[in-house]
Amino acid sequence: MRVMLLPVTMGVLLLGCWPAGAVDHELAITIYGDDLALVQDHRRIELTGGRQRIEFQNVSARIRPETVSLAASGLTILEQNFDFDLLTPAKLMEKAVGQEVTIVRVNPGTGAETREKALVLATNGGVVMKIGGRIEVLRDDGLPVRVIFDKVPDNLSARPTLSVTVDGARSGAVPATLSYLTPGLGWRADYVALFNEADSRIDVQGWVTLTNSSGTSYEDAQTLLVAGTPAQVSDNPYGMGFRPRPRPTLAQAGTESGSRQRLGDFYLYPLVQRTTIANLQTKQVSFLDVHGVPAEHGYEFRNHWLGTTESAQSARSVYRFSTSAHAGLGDQLPAGILRFYLRDQRGAPQFIGESRIDHTPMGSTLSLATGDAFDVKVQATVEKRTAGGRLKWQTQMRYSLTNALPRPVTVDLLQEGLWGDTRILEESQKSTRRSADVAEWLVAVPANGSSELTAAFESRH
Amino acid sequence: MRMLPRPWLLAAALAPLQANAADVNAGPPTALSVSLYRAGTRAAEALELDRLRGFALVSERRQVRLPAGESRIRFGGVADGIEPASTIITGLPAGVLEKNEDAQLLSPAALVAQMLGREVVLVRTQPRTGVVTRSPGRIRSATDGIVFESTEGIEALRCSGLPETFSFSAATELSATPTLSVLVRSGAPATATITLSYLAHGFDWTADYVAHLSPDGTTMDLGAWVTLANANAVSFPSAQAQVIAGRLDRYADRDVAVPVAKPIIAQCWPRGTTTDVAAASSLANGAPPYRLEQSIGIADVRDMPVAPASIARLVEEEQLGDLKLYRVPQRTTLTSRQIKQVRLLEQAGVPVQLIYGADLVANQDRPWLTAAKTLRTKNDKAHHLGLALPSGRVASFLSRGNTLLLLAQAPLRDIAVGEQFEIGVGESADVQLRSTRGPDAVNRVEIHNARSSALAFELRLRLDPGSQLIAADHPVRTRHGQPVFEVQLPAEGHAIVRYQTGQPRQH
């Protein structure tokens, strides 16, 4: 197939994209969602019998060397090395210190070439050479000088290279499996949801998005995607410091099991056909396409503590739907991002925001916020705060809700920060205590109008 | 383990793309539509083309001829900032098997990297004689410089001082721009009209308001421009353009590959010479970044004549769910790396209240403090407004004869219809106040007016939680649960407000 112009003069068995030593190989890649993949490379290797170094050149450039294992019958692994010493002009010259190179001086006037042997003395800042009995700095005069090296030093290679030194019991081809973990390959789900305002239904498409930034292309690989996060040891178990608690997206966890393949508690998404995952490629494969699922659109406002908002704050625009089989998407949803679209007045879909979802079992109810409502705002005000006896405080809250939309809306108003020791003394509308910490009111706001809600709280401090 | 003979496997090893799918190029985009969204985090700073944090939804229609069987449709000329995960393709007769986006661009470095280990021809030219020598060889390494192997031995590219380069013979499958491709399977040959939409970064827009305050300070003329910016290298000719106002949620894509195009870095061995001196300070090299503020946005406004500007066609507002969509009325061309402005609104004679005021934390001593000026009005028909105002910046001007005076630039939040809002118009050094707390726990706020006219002053107190005003010698009203004193300041005079707070108990 390919004619090598130059013979490869290496005393090792090279397994890689070039020069093609063995072509009979099969790649199997299992990709976890959390930027982690297990690569299994099944191939035949030629054993010479005895001690031998096998190089694997097209492994992931971000391979985790400590996870490498080579399984083959009839050989003993002596050592595994991962060499990061890359072949660059500077390294080439550095390794040539103390050795002879050929220099070709080109006369810029005539083009005549003169060849000399030179001994490289040092490469600190500039290259100092010994030519005959003289010491010279390479190209100190700026005139053209070619430097020709006899060979590439043994441990320099074009890309990070994994090498395994083995002791083969016999010679001949044996099947072998190289497996390792690598970051840089990851997947997540991307969902496209088109909401139809007229009949309050959504169409949802799900795509598996596979990204490869591992520095290597994987040819014709059998790919399996695993939904679920395998536990990993983290160097920093306490995370990145304080982060505000995100708004929960799962309103009700489901209890239905679907027909997807499982392994333990992981869901498996095998790609139907073998695929090539090129470096720096993003690949998407469809896994879900559901039309006309009932969905609700509403508004939600959370006041995180019994406090005054600086100015009227927008309520969140929230979409709710189910993933159950009879009135919903009817599937498990692997973690990913759900993008919402809505048709404008000319019928063109426009993007209206996105929400991140976690692995969601079938039968769940999702409540996803897409952004702030321009026209629905809430001003929370502490009217009065008074001490009401020993360690008791009374807080009079007023919530002013405004709606600049030409239709009435209902705002799900949530007062958080009640800590379980706060009770509501009086309120202008009946609340539901969602939990010890949260009280909830469903406040109707007329079209182009406003509503008020007042409540008095008693808390201990 | 399966060891099936696969005759095309070798070919696949040469070309990273699967060899069994026919490559089909989609036709040029038509019926373009670009909807621009703002960066959620940017408050009110000027647009910088190299630092646009907004994004856009691009929709386009393309014709494609599909052969029977598997084919790979390649969409050239999509925006460089494409977020591949967001692409939606409709109109294909057959199912989409997979969508791919290759961020590996055709660049000198990518070409060399692709040719790693393959045969290339090194072309060397004698500068004097012009004699060209072509010697075959192989690229051995392309990290931090290029090492190649020729019949003579190992050499490094462009270290000799001779003009030398590679000549590549093989065709490349790399493309000039990030290329989206779709693998489809079609039962019969078909011609399809595909609608492709995707989100792309490298776009942004701002709303820039200009308020002209009348000399008596009772009305203002409010005008606004929408400034659209495209930092992509792709142009959108004759496109339907929309901007979308309001805040929507985005999540950062942390694992998306960034398109990289690199030059060939012909790094050599250390090339210091005996005459090298330490490099001079490079402070002077950093050119200031291109700032819109100095060129288009505000500069236009400063040069604007006092006479009303020529009438511009306004954008059309429509409701998009809980967001606002502003449509550019005519088709427009958004070219690569361009900033463009369209008129958002033009409202004359908006009644405003000019208010002097200050915010004070209760019970704290405060040395002399300059009063802030705000214009207060309501976004409704009675105030000649009554349209959704997207957040942006307001530059307020006062006319004095034929010249304009810039009062202030202030941010403006999203204002819905019917909302009261304020525009900051700077400070007045002529109105100063200070606060002292006496030993009897009575606070004394002195407000001095050096202006030749009387004015209304608003003193806004911020109380500690749980405390209340228990005594004051001026009328007080409550705003957002906090006391506000309205004080009439005489011309060239002063006023003193006394107040006391306490923590009342209920029994």
pLDDT per residue, tens digit, chain A (461 aa), is 333 333 333 345 555 433 333 446 789 999 987 788 999 998 888 888 888 888 887 788 888 888 888 888 878 888 888 777 778 888 888 888 888 999 988 887 887 888 999 999 888 888 888 988 888 888 888 888 889 998 888 777 777 778 888 888 888 888 889 999 999 898 889 999 999 999 999 999 998 888 888 888 888 899 999 887 777 665 544 444 445 567 888 888 888 887 888 877 888 888 888 888 888 888 888 888 899 999 999 999 999 888 888 788 999 999 999 999 988 998 889 988 999 999 999 989 999 999 999 889 999 999 999 999 999 999 999 888 887 777 788 889 999 999 999 999 999 999 998 887 888 999 999 999 988 889 999 999 999 999 999 999 998 86
Mean pLDDT of B223-237: 88
Residue B292: predicted pLDDT: 34
Higher pLDDT: B76 or A233? It is B76
Residue B103: predicted pLDDT: 66
Residue with tokens 């991140």: A356
A195 inside 8 A of chain B by CB:
yes
* pLDDT at B152 exceeding the cut of 90: no
Give the closest-approach CA distance of B382 to chain A in angstroms: 15
Q: Is the dihedral of CA A129, A133, A139, A144 positive or negative?
A: negative
> Tell me, what DSSP letter sits at residue B478?
E
The verdict on a CB contact (< 8 Å) between B267 and A90 is: yes
Q: What gap in Å lies between CA A208 and CA A262, rounded to an integer?
A: 17
CB distance B393 to B206 below 8 Å: yes
Residue B164: strand pairing partners: B124
The verdict on a CB contact (< 8 Å) between A89 and B324 is: no
Higher pLDDT: B256 or B186? It is B186
Higher pLDDT: A286 or B308? It is A286
The verdict on a CB contact (< 8 Å) between B100 and A278 is: yes
Cβ contacts of B413 on chain A, cutoff 8 Å: 311
Give the closest-approach CA distance of A31 to chain B in angstroms: 14
For B323, name the nearest residue in chain A, comparing CA atoms only: A374
* pLDDT at B30 exceeding the cut of 70: yes
Cβ contacts of B257 on chain A, cutoff 8 Å: 211-213, 280-282
CB distance A215 to A90 below 8 Å: no
Among the partner-chain residues B35, B245, B251, the one whose CB lies closest to the CB of A350 is B35
A71 inside 8 A of chain B by CB:
no
Cβ contacts of A402 on chain B, cutoff 8 Å: 416, 418-419
A282 inside 8 A of chain B by CB:
yes
- Distant-in-sequence, close-in-space partners of B139: CB < 8 Å, separation ≥ 6: B112, B115, B116, B117, B118, B120, B146, B147, B148, B166
Q: What gap in Å lies between CA B16 and CA B341, rounded to an integer?
A: 44
CB distance A56 to A163 below 8 Å: yes
Residue B500: predicted pLDDT: 92
Q: What gap in Å lies between CA B233 and CA B199, rounded to an integer?
A: 15
Mean pLDDT of B401-416: 86
Phi, psi of B460 (to 5 degrees): -105, 120
For A449, name the nearest residue in chain B, comparing CA atoms only: B418
Report pLDDT digits (tens) over B90-118: 888 766 778 887 766 666 777 777 777 77
The CA–CA distances, whole Å, from B33 to B195, B235, B337 equal 11, 12, 17
Residue B506: predicted pLDDT: 55
Choose, out of B268, B269, B423, B469, the residue to mutate when testing the contact with A (most A CBs < 10 Å): B269
Cβ contacts of A308 on chain B, cutoff 8 Å: 480-482
A155 inside 8 A of chain B by CB:
no
Q: Which of A65-69, B185-189, B289-293 has the lowest mean pLDDT?
A: B289-293
A92 inside 8 A of chain B by CB:
yes
Among the partner-chain residues A123, A282, A312, the one whose CB lies closest to the CB of B257 is A282
Q: Based on C-alpha coordinates, what's the Rg of chain A?
A: 34
CB distance A191 to A337 below 8 Å: yes
ipTM value for the complex: 0.75
DSSP secondary structure, A282-350, as one string: EEEEEEEEEEEEEEEEEEEEEE-SS---SS-EEEEEEEEEE-STTTS--S-B-SEEEEEEEE-TTS-EE
Cβ contacts of B17 on chain A, cutoff 8 Å: 276, 278
CA angle B383, B387, B388 (to 5 degrees): 125
HEC profile for B114-136? HCCCCEEEEEEECCCCCCEEEEE
Instruction: State whether residue A239 is helix, strand or coil.
Output: coil
The verdict on a CB contact (< 8 Å) between A24 and B3 is: yes
| Residue B36 one-letter amino acid | L
A232 inside 8 A of chain B by CB:
no
Q: What gap in Å lies between CA A30 and CA B52, rounded to an integer?
A: 37
Among the partner-chain residues A220, A317, A376, the one whose CB lies closest to the CB of B9 is A220
Q: What gap in Å lies between CA B287 and CA B300, rounded to an integer?
A: 23
Report pLDDT digits (tens) over B377-391: 999 999 999 889 998
CB distance A163 to A83 below 8 Å: yes
Q: What gap in Å lies between CA A407 and CA A198, rounded to an integer?
A: 13
The verdict on a CB contact (< 8 Å) between A126 and B271 is: yes
- Distant-in-sequence, close-in-space partners of B424: CB < 8 Å, separation ≥ 6: B372, B373, B374, B394, B408, B410
pTM above 0.80, yes or no: no
A49 inside 8 A of chain B by CB:
no
Q: Which of A185-199, B155-169, B362-376 has the lowest mean pLDDT?
A: B155-169
How many Cβ pairs closer than 8 A exist between chain A and B? 353
Q: Is the dihedral of CA B33, A191, B101, B74 positive or negative?
A: negative
Residue B272's pLDDT band (cuts 50, 70, 90)? low
B391 inside 8 A of chain A by CB:
no
Phi, psi of A446 (to 5 degrees): -70, 165
Residue with tokens 């790609």: A271
A24 inside 8 A of chain B by CB:
yes
Cβ contacts of A376 on chain B, cutoff 8 Å: 322
- Lookup: tokens for A376: 């629905």
* pLDDT at B182 exceeding the cut of 70: yes
The verdict on a CB contact (< 8 Å) between A23 and B245 is: no
- Distant-in-sequence, close-in-space partners of A16: CB < 8 Å, separation ≥ 6: A55, A56, A57, A58
Which of residues 117 through 146 in chain B touch A, CB cutoff 8 A? 117-119, 126-129, 131, 136-138, 140-146
* pLDDT at B309 exceeding the cut of 50: no
Q: What gap in Å lies between CA B42 and CA B54, rounded to an integer?
A: 9
Q: What gap in Å lies between CA B458 and CA B358, rounded to an integer?
A: 7
Strand pairing report for B179-186 and A439-445: unpaired
Q: What gap in Å lies between CA A45 and CA B336, rounded to an integer?
A: 52
Among the partner-chain residues B119, B199, B270, the one whose CB lies closest to the CB of A125 is B270
Among the partner-chain residues A299, A352, A356, the one whose CB lies closest to the CB of B320 is A352
Residue A420: predicted pLDDT: 79
Cβ contacts of A213 on chain B, cutoff 8 Å: 255, 257
